[in-house]
Amino acid sequence: MGIIFTIIILGIIVFIHELGHFATAKYFGMPVTEFAIGMGPRLFSVKKEETVYSIRILPLGGFVNIEGMQPEKFDLEAFKKERMDEIIEKLKDEINSENNEIKDEQFISEVKKRLDAAVKQELKRQENIQKNGFFTKSPFSRFIVLIAGVVMNFISALVALYIMLSIAGVVPPQYSQAIVGEIEQNSKANGKLKVNDKILTINGKNIANWSEMTKKIGEISQNYKNEDVILKVLRDNKEITENVKLAYNEKTRSNILGIHLLSQKSTFGERIKISFIMFGDYFKLTLDGVKMLVTGKVAMKEMTGPVGLPKVIGEAYGQGGLFAMLGVFILISINIGIMNLLPIPALDGGRLIFIIPEFFGIKINKKIEEKIHLIGMIFLLVLMMIIVFFDVTKYF
């Protein structure tokens, strides 16, 4: 199941990412020759107008081939030679398969006819590239096309977060208001606090949610000497101050308040708000992970790549079922979005670095830029091989 879910989740995430590039490129009138999910040889393809839509054999990514991204000079003679060789071979195969005999003059005439048609079509394509290709567009248009994939990943993560919260139907504990749902029997808050009390402040510090409350109690617990903890609570729409003591818990080996959270149903507005808050928390968590990798606090072998994902996703499914798959989708979407924003040549973020100076009138030589992106691509391929190697070792 891990492999199947990995292919499905990665396929959806890659599709959404590439759809962002594709849709914006089409919007700005850039010619797109292929929209591909996966890498390597094609498994399936269909052509509609100028674009080939394909699924490729390796589910390790995808791409949108936007014409004019590489500032190449069209060599008509080289094109003629290449296409002539292809046409001759194809025509020979056709003749042999039909067991036909054809005179040399007819053969040469057919080759010339097909070559003229191919040249005419290619010249028309090249004219369109010179007029509407990627590098002919404004810096703003190119910036939008490059960042659109990342934006789509982030939007899809937000939508998935909202769906997850809607399925759960309740506010996650860490984002819930600090409302008392149950008081433990050995808690010293018995007789002081009541069910439905909303804790507003602890020792004068405002408490916004259950997470802040538990954090504050944890801080007090570290150097606790049986002093009173001053709680301001909202009870029956009235603010009341209660002085309570913490109780020592053998299980956690710490001093606790001894209360449990009241489960709170989420509203439409709360789900939207919490979706953005959770997105921010996931975003920060991913950035911290990248920072630890760069600084060496986390070893490269701790990273999980596409080969290691089935194992991780399989374990997640075993523990949380389809609901856990939604969480995995959110995490991977945000991770892929952030990784693509990194200023590494060949990635979206690396290409954006070369566009930003153009907003200030600074132009960078496109040939030099493409050479830098080529180096970046080689670096990424080497990095991918290292990650795949460590992924494989995790299975043993």
Q: Which residues are catalytic?
A: 18
What secondary structure letter does DSSP report for 262?
P
Cβ–Cβ under 8 Å, residues 162 and 329: no
Q: Hunting for tokens 């975003």 — which residue is that? A: 283
List the beta bridge partners of residue 249: 254
**Residue-by-residue DSSP string for 146-211:** HHHHHHHHHHHHHHHHHHHHHHH-B--GGGS--BEEEE-TT-TTBTTB-TT-EEEEETTEE--SHH
Length of the chain: 396
Dist. CA 373–CA 365, nearest whole Å: 13
- Torsion over CA: 126, 131, 133, 135 (sign): positive
Provide the 3-class DSSP secondary structure of residue 227.
coil
| Distant-in-sequence contacts of 376-385, Cβ < 8 A, 24+ apart | 376/344, 376/345, 376/346, 376/347, 376/350, 377/345, 377/346, 379/344, 379/345, 379/346, 380/344, 380/346, 380/347, 384/305
Q: What is the 3-state secondary structure (H, E, C) of 58-105?
A: EEEEEEEEECCCCCCCCCHHHHHHHHHHHHHHHHHHHHHHCCCCCCHH
Rounded to the nearest angstrom, the gap between the alpha carbon of residue 286 and the centroid of all alpha carbons in its chain is 11
- Helix 76-97 × helix 104-132 angle, to 10°: 140
Which string of b and e fits 307-335 if b means at least 16 CB within 10 Å? bbbbbbbbebbeeeeeebbbebbbbbbbb
For residue 141 the two structure tokens come to 């248009």
Q: Can you tell me the distance from the alpha carbon of 362 to that of 72, in angstroms, rounded to the nearest whole number?
A: 21
Query: CA-to-CA distance for 112 and 115, rounded, in angstroms?
Result: 5
